[in-house]
Structure 1
Amino acid sequence: GVLGRVRGVWDFRVVKMLIFFFCVPIILGIIFSFVSPLLQYFRFQYLIVFLSLLLSYSVNSLPFFYTSSPRGARVRQLADQNKVASLKLIHQLAPLVFIGFLSWSLFYLLNPQFHREDWKNLAQILKNGKAPIYMILSSSDPLKYYAPELEVRDLRRLGSLGGLGREIIIAKNDVYCTTY
Structure 2
Amino acid sequence: MGKRDKRVAWVNPIALARSTGPKEATGTTIRDYLDRSRPTLEEVTEKIKKAREGSHALANWEEQQQKKFSRELAAQRAAVLGEGSSQRSSKKKRKKEKRKFSKRKKHRARSRSPLYDSSSDKDKEEIKRVKKKKHHRKQETSSDSEDNDTTSDDSHSPPTSKHKKQRRRQSDSDSS
Structure 1 length as normaliser, TM-score? 0.27
Bigger helix share: 2
Structure 2 length as normaliser, TM-score? 0.28
